[in-house]
Amino acid sequence: MSAASALLETPEGRQRIWSSLVTARAFDQAMCEHNNHWHEARGEEAVIVGGFLGLGENDVVAPHFRGACAVSLFRGADPETLAAGVFGTAGSNSLGHWRGDICPHPDSRSIGMFSGSLGTTVAYATGAALHLQRTAPGNVAVCAFGDGTANAGIVSESMNLAVMLHLPIVLICQNNQFATSLRASDAIAGGPVSARARGFGLPSIDVDGNDVRAVLAARDDAVAKAREGGGPTFIHATTYRMGGHYMNDPENYRTAEEVASWAQRDPLDRFAAELVALGELGPEEAASGVRSLTERMTELVGGAKGAGVGDVVAPLGHSAYAEHQGWAS
């Protein structure tokens, strides 16, 4: 039984899924409270958790910028350190030298977004898959990107290369239906993005991106195939961006009724209902658990934000070299 299947089939595994969903929501909402430029991931947690929870420590991940910090948390990162990375304060992995929405420690084997030009992480993950294929067979790369990024040429190039070289990679389109304010239906020709992937001969799966069970099962099958040398898989997960593109987005490109309709399909509510039906979660525990952890995360994030930048000169050698022996005289 694979790791993901164990998560789905045991009470302990389902509790881990639930805890991860709550963690993703709580950290995200805490960042919303303290950062007006934050790219909110509320509503997309089923893709974030289903796509990345339960992977091996030697697998390489390249998550979507919406939910990237949550993926780092799943892989053992400290939330205060991640928050400091978002704000560029001294407690971050870069010691305050750099800031960004994706700011993991390299030890987590999580690829950060080092360019504001989206799509680069897809190429990085494809390169990582090539490295794994040649040096560490049995390990895989998993990458997620949005519907807007799917139109970038580098994504098509990466899909083609993955197929031609039979790479151990799972490509996940986290389709939240908007590229800033442009609807995917107004920007992507030829049907869903998965149709484009199939054009490269890339096996593709379409799933409900608000159903964590469906996403996790599809990811699990794709990862198992890749580990066994079966090559790449494309997963198209349709979800919905409940918040704006960023916190001050006026959102004048959609109606409140549309947002309310999708709120009825909230991924946390759906999985909580399953756990309640199984007797593994109390009816009131879901909301109280999210609220309690969000409050703690909000306090933690606020502390990281107010920590200051510290001494940005003294640790430069430490940041640049594996073993810093001091500056040359």
For residue 54, the domain's CATH number is 3.40.50.970
Would you tell me how many other CB atoms lie within 10 Å of the CB of residue 137? 12
Q: Is residue 327 part of a domain?
A: no
Q: Give the residue-averaged pLDDT of 260-274.
A: 97
Range of the domain at 54: 3-319
Number of domains comprising the chain:
1
**Nearest residue to 180 via CA among 266, 83, 115, 248:** 248
Query: Which residues does residue 238 pair with via DSSP β-bridges, in sequence order?
Result: 175, 208
Q: Is the pLDDT of residue 323 over 70?
A: no
What percent of the chain has a predicted confidence (pLDDT) above 70?
Answer: 91
Find the farthest-apart pair of alpha carbons in the chain and give their distance in angstroms, rounded: 69
Q: Is residue 325 part of a domain?
A: no
Q: Is residue 240 part of a domain?
A: yes
Q: Is the pLDDT of residue 313 over 90?
A: no
Q: Is residue 14 part of a domain?
A: yes
The predicted structure's pLDDT at residue 329: 38
Query: Which residues does residue 235 pair with via DSSP β-bridges, in sequence order?
Result: 172, 205
Give the model confidence (pLDDT) of 134-193 as tens digits. 999 999 999 999 999 999 999 999 999 999 999 999 999 999 999 989 898 888 888 889
Q: Is residue 162 part of a domain?
A: yes
Q: Is residue 328 part of a domain?
A: no
Burial code (b: 16+ CB inside 10 Å, e: under 16) for 242-269 equals ebbbebebeeeeeeeeeeeebeebbbbe
Q: Is residue 68 part of a domain?
A: yes
Determine contact, residues 175/167, Cβ cutoff 8 Å.
no
Q: Is the pLDDT of residue 315 over 80?
A: no
Q: Is residue 29 part of a domain?
A: yes
